[in-house]
Amino acid sequence: MIHAPTITLKGRYDVDGHRLFGPIDMSISAGEWTCLLGRSGVGKSTILRLILGLETAGDFIGKIVSDDGYPIAKRASYMAQSDLLLPWLNLRENVVVGARLRGAEPDFDQANALIDRVGLSDHIKKKPGALSGGMRQRAALARTLMENRPIVLLDEPFSALDAGTRADMQDLAAELLVGKTVLLVTHDPAEACRLGHQITLLSEDGANAWDLPDTMPIRQPDDPEMLRSQASLLAHLRAGL
């Protein structure tokens, strides 16, 4: 296993001279799931894009560093709400698209193994159009795993799925991403309480930790402690953080 680092963000974020959020001091722990919640437009996805080194509308004044000092963006992979599968490629070609885009020879054996782990072996030659939403998101997960990077940034990857499929995907992701440093942006308190080792609430004024039960994720959906935590988190979010 490649070393999964802890990532720290310190600073503030301005758009056209106006403060969007911060100053924040937030850390994403090594090898664990950190769930990021906050109202729409507060800049959750921006944080994820900043870590990935993607373009954003404003400026981050501060620093984003890993505890081992190595660059972060090149060790991070990304999974979004939209599966971002290429409709003209079959499932396996979509899973190996990273290697293709780097002009490298794909490792099909590994791709087959990962496709098997996400349970799509019977659909390897199918185009995304022939797959259900849940299957497409599993394919996207396989593509993310194929990159084999120690940091994984997830931007509401399960939010468009129906409740049953979403729970299945959460189980699968928790199992397959074990040991990686994961940041999950989500709107769903239940998802955050199921999956998170830590929960961070982002607001204009900063990033604050939310206390979770002592149990380890992934927590069962009917775990009473988790349900209590989820209910109080929801109440907190409704009160406007």
Partner 1 sequence: MNRLTYPFCATLLGLCLWQALVWGTDAPHFILPAPWRVAKAAFESRALIAEHAVVTGTEVILGLIIGASLGAITAIQLAAFPRLARLTLPLLVFTQAVPVFALAPILTLWFGYGIGSKIVMAVLIIYFPVTSAFYDGLSRVTPGLLDLAKTMGASKTQVMLRIKIPSALPSLASGLKLAAVYAPIGAVIGEWVGASRGLGYLMLLANGRAKIDLMFATLIVLALLTLLFHKVVSMLANRLTDASVTG
- Report the interface residues with partner 1, using CB under 8 A: 49, 52-54, 73-74, 76-78, 80, 82, 84, 86-90, 97-98, 100-103, 127, 129, 147
Q: Which is nearer to partner 1, 151 or 176 (CB)?
A: 151
Report the nearest approach of partner 1 to the CB of residue 144 (Å). 10
Give Cα 156 distance to the centre of its chain. Answer: 7
Report the nearest approach of partner 1 to the CB of residue 150 (Å). 14
Q: Which is nearer to partner 1, 180 or 194 (CB)?
A: 180
- Residue (of 36, 68, 3, 73) closest to 195 by Cα position: 36
Report yes or no: 166 and 124 within 8 Å, Cβ to Cβ: no
Report the nearest approach of partner 1 to the CB of residue 70 (Å). 15
The amino acid that residue 33 corresponds to is: W
Distance CA 126, CA 161 (A): 20
Q: Which is nearer to partner 1, 73 or 160 (CB)?
A: 73
Residue 48, token pair as written in the block: 């994820």
SS3 track for 165-213? HHHHHHHHHHHHCCCCEEEEECCCHHHHHHHCCEEEEEECCEEEEECCC
Q: Which is nearer to partner 1, 89 or 237 (CB)?
A: 89
- Residue (of 184, 199, 197, 190) closest to 151 by Cα position: 184
Q: Which is nearer to partner 1, 138 or 219 (CB)?
A: 138
Indicate the SS3 state at residue 52.
helix
Report the nearest approach of partner 1 to the CB of residue 164 (Å). 26
Q: Which is nearer to partner 1, 83 or 188 (CB)?
A: 83
Report the nearest approach of partner 1 to the CB of residue 90 (Å). 7
Report the nearest approach of partner 1 to the CB of residue 228 (Å). 36
Alpha carbon separation from 107 to 111, 136, 145, 184 (Å, rounded): 6, 21, 13, 28
